[in-house]
Amino acid sequence: MKNRSIYRCLYPISFLYGVGVRLRNYLYNKEILKSKSYPIPIICIGNLSVGGSGKTPMVEYLIRHLGSKYRIAVVSRGYKRRSKGLVIALPNDTASQIGDEPRQILYNFPKVMMVLDGNRRRAIEYLLSLPKEEQPEIILLDDGFQHRRVLPSLSILLTDWNKPYIKDKLLPVGRLRESLEGALRADCIILTRCPEEIPPIEYRIMERNLSLYPHQSLLFSRTVSGDLTPLFPKEAVAANNGNVKQRVIAIAGIAQPEYFFADLKKRFNVIKTLHYPDHHHFSERELASFSTLLSDHPSSLLVLTQKDAVRIIDYKEKLPQQLKSRLYYIPIETVLSEEDSTKLEKIVEKTIRQVNQNSSLHL
């Protein structure tokens, strides 16, 4: 009863929050507050809700598919980083310095340009001030959907198949950062974490429920988990590749760990799961407790998400050999069907051509 009473008390706060967000969006929509466009293709990847909806894997998907053709820069605020202001992030920077998500992207794509700044305009203008041969040809604006001060060339809105924004409520009652009308700004809506096989009728139901406008494209993606990967390959003990399932202790400091834990339980003998808050920086006491767990379960491995792994890797010099030898992570990738991948490629290429044509007309 107490929890239900507290929940009801949140509705007035949610209403006032919604009024503030709608007013802000109204001022931008009416151009009383100004959004700024730039003479370079800017692809915004974002969502309406707080918490994980697959933004970082989608940024990595775009880097993977566009990086061979274009110079790409990623602009991110670097959530929970200790550094301040504009920072040019480098592959050897720690997760505490630049944030775990930029650290993960640079771990997987060390050659990509990464600029961190809460002021996205300043970050973009820095990139455009570089010598022509160093300037990016595409900017990926990570988690920038609510950053209305920048007008992107293409807005990609992500929403979880299992928890789409149409079934959510505004903060603090639900997880929505803004009302459902915000989705109208999206050029492309991608449902993430879709099941591998979706009956055609479920496609049509989702399309109908989302009530898309003619200018909006709807695509479906799923998450594919990779193999057990040692965090410290030189020190690692071999994983069990026999008929007996590998025993693992699963640790996740992410927004929605249930997907990670469920995937591990299908593949391994999970003897324990530990969940920490999203973006959690592990203390030395917690790291010591991991060593104790492994001592109590000598044939087990400690398995992390990659986002957790890039935070723990910064403690390498302080970790005991036993812990380093049994720390593993599971990489993940966003995957689109061949048809949807082609659709997205055409949308992106069309956007790039339009921006470049408009830029050449104004020279």
343 annotated to a ligand binding site:
no
In which residue are the tokens 């590749």 written?
241
54 annotated to a ligand binding site:
yes
51 annotated to a ligand binding site:
yes
Buried/exposed code over 100-134 (b: 16+ C-beta within 10 A; e: otherwise): bbbbbbbbbbeebbbbbbeebeebbeebeeeeeee
34 vs 31: CA distance, rounded Å: 5
Structure token digits, residue 212: 């898309």
Beta-sheet pairing, 332-336 with 217-225:
antiparallel
192 annotated to a ligand binding site:
no
Q: Return phi, psi of residue 277, to 5°.
A: -60, 155
143 vs 342: CA distance, rounded Å: 23
- Of 248, 176, 186, nearest to 219 by C-alpha is 186
52 annotated to a ligand binding site:
yes
174 annotated to a ligand binding site:
no
For 134: left if phi > 0, alpha if psi spans -120 to 50, otherwise beta; the answer is alpha
Distances (CA, A) of 164 to 23, 47, 207, 217: 24, 10, 12, 16
325 annotated to a ligand binding site:
no
CB atoms within 10 A of CB 86: 14
* Sequence ranges of the binding site: 49-56
**Residues marked as binding for ATP?**
49-56
